[in-house]
Structure 1
Amino acid sequence: MNPSLAGRLTDDGHELDVRVYFEDTDFSGVVYHARYLHFLERGRSDFLRLKGIGHRELMSGERGAPMAFAVRKMEIEFLRPARIDDVLQVATRTRQLGGARVLLDQTIMRGEELLVTASVKVAVISPEGKPMRMPAEVLSVLDPNTGGAP
């Protein structure tokens, strides 16, 4: 794996650079609102990947019981538009951990300009789709207070 493709871990979370392509925009060259969901998902997935708990590792049970994350709730505020060819920074930070859920804060910036904020509640589920408690090893890796590492 090329770590640069997955962004970078920071002291308080993760950052991922994404470029806006033609396919991300509407007829006017402005990013279509639903595309921001894709950018945010990439940020969350690469955050997990760089922490050593990518989706494949979670489902295989390499870090405890097999599990997956499913977005249960998301609140998004669109503050400013992004446009074709912009380079955006998607930041992901763990706000709170629970036994069966994770609350994440995400932002999308263009340089110093805040474009999008998102609050994401993620549920922990079994491979069958049933709620379950997060394995302790995964919990420790995601805990921002312990600086969990792969």
Structure 2
Amino acid sequence: MVIAYGRAMNDLLSGWLTDDGHCLDVRVYFEDTDFSGVVYHARYLHFLERGRTDFLRLKGIGHRELAEGAYGEPMAFAVRQMGIEFLRPARIDDVLRVETRTHLLGGARIVLDQKILRGDEVLIEARVKVAVISPDGRPRRMPEAVSAILGAPAPSP
């Protein structure tokens, strides 16, 4: 099967929506590891960020569009708090799955639960509190259109 570059390719790179969130597969490369071939702890933040970003992307919400005011006033999402539990290490060449689920959708924040798995084995669990901010960094309410998109179930395939 041949897939043309463009939207179809971008969608493939962005993982997929599920009934209750999003999944993204990532491979562990040499650059993600320490000298022993184990993933360096800070690299998990990159994997989690990709999961959150691609969750938004597949929901139709791009960071650029948010910043440009596509939903009213310009806005952005900023991580306000993150709790991470490191349960097991990942290693070079592992294929990991980043799962992202909305735990709470509020007027000015989102709380997401994220996991990184290798097969059925949970390696990382994280709870991420994300604030809605204006371009000057002040908190603001989430536009109703964005809230509606984030609260909507995944479209049927």
Same fold by TM-score greater than 0.5: yes
Q: Which residue of 15, 19, 43 corresponds with 1:11?
A: 19
Q: What's the TM-score once normalised by structure 2's chain length?
A: 0.91
Q: Does residue 1:124 correspond to 2:132, yes or no?
A: yes
Q: Which residue of 107, 110, 113 corresponds with 1:105?
A: 113
Name structure 2 gaps, 5 residues minimum: 1-6
* Aligned position for 1:135: 143
Q: Is the 8 A contact 2:115 2:122 kept in 1?
A: yes
* Aligned position for 1:26: 34
Amino acid corresponding to residue 70 of structure 1 in structure 2: A
Amino acid corresponding to residue 82 of structure 1 in structure 2: A
Q: Does residue 1:147 correspond to 2:153, yes or no?
A: yes
Amino acid corresponding to residue 28 of structure 1 in structure 2: S
| Separation in structure 2 between the aligned mates of residue 13 and residue 34 of structure 1, nearest angstrom | 24
| Separation in structure 1 between the aligned mates of residue 133 and residue 29 of structure 2, nearest angstrom | 33
C-alpha displacement of 1:64:
2.5
Amino acid corresponding to residue 37 of structure 2 in structure 1: G
The count of corresponding residues between Structure 1 and Structure 2 is 147
Name structure 1 gaps, 5 residues minimum: none
| Separation in structure 2 between the aligned mates of residue 63 and residue 8 of structure 1, nearest angstrom | 23
Q: Which residue of 61, 72, 75 corresponds with 2:83?
A: 75
Q: Does residue 1:57 correspond to 2:94, yes or no?
A: no
What secondary structure is seen at the aligned counterpart in 2 of 1:17? strand
Q: How does 1:79-90 map to 2 (within 5 A)?
A: 79-90=87-98
* Aligned position for 1:36: 44
What secondary structure is seen at the aligned counterpart in 1 of 2:31? helix
| RMSD, aligned α-carbons | 1.0
Select between 53-62 and 109-118 the one with higher mean Cα deviation.
53-62
Q: Does residue 1:114 correspond to 2:135, yes or no?
A: no
C-alpha displacement of 1:63:
2.0
| Separation in structure 2 between the aligned mates of residue 65 and residue 49 of structure 1, nearest angstrom | 19
| Separation in structure 1 between the aligned mates of residue 73 and residue 113 of structure 2, nearest angstrom | 26
